[in-house]
Structure 1
Amino acid sequence: MALVFLPALARMAVCGGTHGNELSGVYVVQEMERQWKEKGECAWPIPVTTVLSNPRAVKECRRYIEKDMNRCFNRATLSSPITDSSPYEVRRAHELNNLLGPKGSTDAIDLICDLHNTTANMGLTLIHYTTSDWVTLHICKYLQMTCVSVAIEVGPQPHGVVRADIYTIMKEAVDLTIDWIHKFSSGMVFEGGDVEAFRFIKSVDYPRDPETRTLTAAIHPQLQDRDFCLLKRGDPLFLSFSGETVKYEEEEPLHPFFINEAAYYEKEIAFHLGKKMMLTIPSVQVQKD
């Protein structure tokens, strides 16, 4: 693939506490703010804005106060007027959009790193929503080459708890992202190649009583903590409370992730299923004036 020239990334934001009980991002942001107070503009080689996204939820160590903030940044919500009955998170999303956006405008921050924890055993996982965002995919490739894995959703870590190992991995991933942006904006050519990714296919719920909607089974012990393993027909998925095994019945082998994520119980999701794929990305360099 030909060399692709992309605009420089002038500004970056690091957001923690979008979910108030996912503490690694909260403490990464607080540590970066301490570094800023200590070193000022010398703290990082590029301008970085740090944001505690949902301060009320962080203070109460809750995922959210009224509404999952992670579902409040769509265009419909951000374009709707604020009223007296608007949930706190919707109001806060509008504030963040004014601070970091407006979303989709030329004034918006160039790159936002939104830091999350999961109770699932997913290691470091970078979540992106397109297969043609070369900047995001190159950062993913850079982290794959430099870290043990990839970053921004990091687990396993119980909600309301901070683990030093998980915090350290997340902080390292943020530092490496800043490093990549600095090198890219300084003119370095980043060679293309292949990046491993998983494309979301669908979500799977727990077995439930059809009348009460209560769970009738839990994640099978042979599946628990095996995020991104390959599921084949006949593999165990759930173990019912009466002792029976529910097996994987799909013809196509797929990969489960967010297995037994605590926050997904209310969303009726036991895990997601994805298809492994290799994305070929071009070499990139900052666009010259």
Structure 2
Amino acid sequence: MERVLFKPLSQVAICGGTHGNELCGVYMLKELPRDRSGTFSLTTVLANPRAVDTCQRFTEKDLNRCFTDTLLSDLLTEDSPYEVRRAQELNALLGPKGSEATMDLVCDLHSTTSNMAICIITHLNDRVGQHLFKYMREKIRSAPVRLILLTSPLSEGYSLDCLGKHSCTIEVGPQPHGVLRADVYNQMREAVDRMLEWIESFNSGTVFEGGEVEGYSMVEKKDYPRDPETQELTAVIHPQLQDNDFCLLKPGDPVFMTFSGETIHYEGDELYPFFVNEGAYYEKNTAFVLGQKQSLLVPSISVEKEQ
């Protein structure tokens, strides 16, 4: 199998608090060592301090949707949302996006109200992110570890982790927003520890063998049933779907239950639901995401040795 060579990951950033009410990432930053020896420098960033101070997802605009080329180059005015201003500050600190000066790896820490255990989110064209997932899946036994693949190139991403040459979002759950759960926090801690361990080993010359990995790529989003005039919900997630993220959804399976107790059945292709009943997605008109499972053949990788 071919081996792909990469430059060392010398500059690594771990961010938390991109959503101010997702507390695992906020508190994880407090525990990460500020001074460390090793093959890379570690920068920790509290991404959205105003939202963290008020324990809300964002103050004016979802920061994790503000890292498009358009918003990063937008001329700021007095009316610019705080999160757009903050995205440009973070781009200056960790980027600029797409440049040689940008961080080698940006990892963003998130939690979800959905029952998704540990998820690694990276891009289809990011071999480093995929190998991070492969290593965590092999090493972590406390919870399932799954891969969510973004099919767009890293350069076209809109989330904070796209500021790096390589990206990795660690998503853990279930955990209510504004709450810390010890088991979920410990899952994030283990994922972060394994990530730092992998980077150190990679930079030191370890060859990481390739192989097949399974991931989920998003196909579509499903909204809740709503009243056509008021747009108010007319049904909620069915108990048989609740907490069953990544379980294959087949035509005829229960997906929603009306407030009068009637069951609404799924119509569509066999796909895998995730982010089921995510609290923050009500405003995004998303009851759950449907994904397709795919198998990737990931090549072996190692660090490029200096000539």
Length-normalised TM-score, structure 2: 0.90
Residue deviations 1:218-256, cap 9 Å, x none? 000000000000001100000011211111111x21000
State the 1:190 CA deviation: 0.3
The match for 1:12 is 12
The match for 2:28 is 28
Residue deviations 1:23-82, cap 9 Å, x none? 0000001111xx32xxx233x652110000000100100000010000101111001111
The match for 1:240 is 258
Question: Quick one: distance in 2 between partners of 1:65 and 1:31?
Answer: 26
2:220 match: secondary structure: strand
Determine what percentage of the aligned residue pairs are the same residue: 57
The match for 2:120 is 126
Question: Quick one: distance in 2 between partners of 1:30 and 1:90?
Answer: 25
CA contact (8 A) 2:39 2:203 kept: no
Q: Aligned ranges for residues 73-88 of structure 1 at < 5 Å? A: 73-88=67-82
CA contact (8 A) 1:46 1:178 kept: no
State the 1:288 CA deviation: 1.4
Q: Give yes or no for the alignment of 1:41 onto 2:56.
A: no
Q: Which deviates the most, 264-273 or 150-159?
A: 150-159
Length-normalised TM-score, structure 1: 0.95
CA contact (8 A) 2:10 2:39 kept: no
Question: Quick one: distance in 1 between partners of 2:139 and 2:295?
Answer: 19
CA contact (8 A) 2:123 2:129 kept: no
Residue deviations 1:2-37, cap 9 Å, x none? 1111111111100000000000000001111xx32x
Count of matched residue positions in the alignment of Structure 1 and Structure 2 = 281
Q: Aligned ranges for residues 200-219 of structure 1 at < 5 Å? A: 200-219=218-237
2:69 partner amino acid: R
2:135 partner amino acid: Y
Of Structure 1 and Structure 2, which has the larger fraction of its residues in strand? 2
1:282 partner amino acid: P
CA contact (8 A) 2:9 2:40 kept: no
Q: Displaced runs of 4+ in structure 1, greater than 6 A?
A: none
Q: Aligned ranges for residues 136-151 of structure 1 at < 5 Å? A: 136-148=129-141, 149-150=144-145
The match for 2:183 is 165
Q: Give yes or no for the alignment of 1:191 onto 2:184.
A: no
Q: Aligned ranges for residues 249-260 of structure 1 at < 5 Å? A: 249-250=267-268, 252-260=269-277
Q: Aligned ranges for residues 59-74 of structure 1 at < 5 Å? A: 59-74=53-68
- Which residues of structure 2 form unaligned runs of 5+? 146-168
1:115 match: secondary structure: strand
